């Protein structure tokens, strides 16, 4: 009997979905990938996760048809690394890592969204939103002034959890970002953008439709779903 793969609903450009895919890659796991279109979310995803946001990981339990769902990117990242962690991304102070990721999700993401979509939030100017977001960037710069990665000499769950959001901030206006006084953060991001794992995360897949062959991630290979 064929063992079912865990199934990941994802959207390539979403930083939360990038975080989940990074976790799966660093854990050296394989999943069935279903790339979605945000304007046309598949009914199969909405049936298991009515909130309609990505990523969504549908866990297959061995050979049974029973599945469980993880709906938050941070939980998917942690779940993946707890399955196996060959590069030791959890071998750091997890209290500090969780605090930093929490600050990213609860503080930085707020200002990032307003900086990116300043026209939708006229309460402040784009410059003011950027400056609010820079408070967190400065905190990251301070950490990277001491170590190559956020919490030490090696990549940790903190780097994986935060990098997609710094990337999104930088891409609002790349010229502005690389003119800011954060040389260590800028180099950290450049290194990430060239990292083979991140480049594999950003491979494009066609949006999934019912009846398509299964796409296995990270191999990108296909197999018949029947």
Tens-place pLDDT, residues 13-45:
999 999 999 999 999 999 999 999 999 999 999
Entry pTM: 0.92
Query: CATH assignment of 6-86+200-223, given 3.40.225.10, 3.40.50.150, 3.40.50.880, 3.40.30.10?
Result: 3.40.30.10
Domain residue ranges in the chain? 6-86+200-223, 94-193
pLDDT value of residue 61: 73
Q: Do domains 6-86+200-223 and 94-193 have the same CATH topology?
A: no
CATH topology classification for 94-193: Glutathione S-transferase Yfyf (Class Pi); Chain A, domain 2 (1.20.1050)
- Phi, psi dihedrals of residue 57, rounded to the nearest 5°: -110, 120
Element (H, E) at 20: helix 15-26
Identify the pLDDT of residue 157. Answer: 98
Q: 116 is written with which tokens?
A: 């990116």
Residue with the larger pLDDT of the pair 165 and 67 = 165
Encode 132-151 in three state secondary structure.
HHHHHHHHHHHHHCCCCECC
Q: What is the pLDDT of residues 167-195, one digit of tens each?
A: 999 999 999 999 999 999 999 999 999 99
- Report the DSSP pairing between strands 56-60 and 67-70: antiparallel
């Amino acid at each position: 009997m064929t063992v079912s793969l865990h199934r990941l609903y994802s959207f390539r450009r979403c930083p939360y979905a990038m975080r989940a895919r990074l976790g799966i890659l660093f854990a050296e796991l394989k999943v069935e990938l279903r790339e979605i279109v945000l304007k046309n979310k598949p009914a199969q995803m909405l049936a298991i996760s009515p909130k309609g946001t990505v990523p969504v990981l549908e866990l297959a339990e061995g050979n049974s048809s029973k599945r469980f769902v993880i709906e938050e990117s941070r939980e998917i990242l942690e779940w993946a690394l707890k399955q196996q962690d060959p590069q030791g991304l959890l071998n750091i102070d997890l209290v500090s890592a969780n605090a930093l990721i929490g600050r990213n999700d609860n503080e930085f993401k707020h200002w990032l969204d307003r900086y990116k979509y300043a026209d939708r939030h006229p309460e402040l100017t784009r410059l003011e939103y950027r400056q609010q977001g820079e408070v967190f960037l400065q905190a990251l710069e301070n950490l990277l002034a001491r170590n190559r990665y956020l919490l030490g000499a090696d990549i940790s769950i903190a780097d994986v959890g935060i990098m997609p959001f710094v990337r999104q901030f930088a891409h609002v206006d790349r010229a502005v970002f690389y003119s800011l006084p954060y040389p260590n953060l800028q180099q950290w991001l450049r290194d990430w953008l060239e990292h083979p794992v991140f480049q594999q995360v950003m491979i494009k897949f066609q949006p999934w439709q019912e009846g398509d062959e299964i796409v296995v991630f990270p191999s990108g290979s296909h197999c018949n779903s029947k």
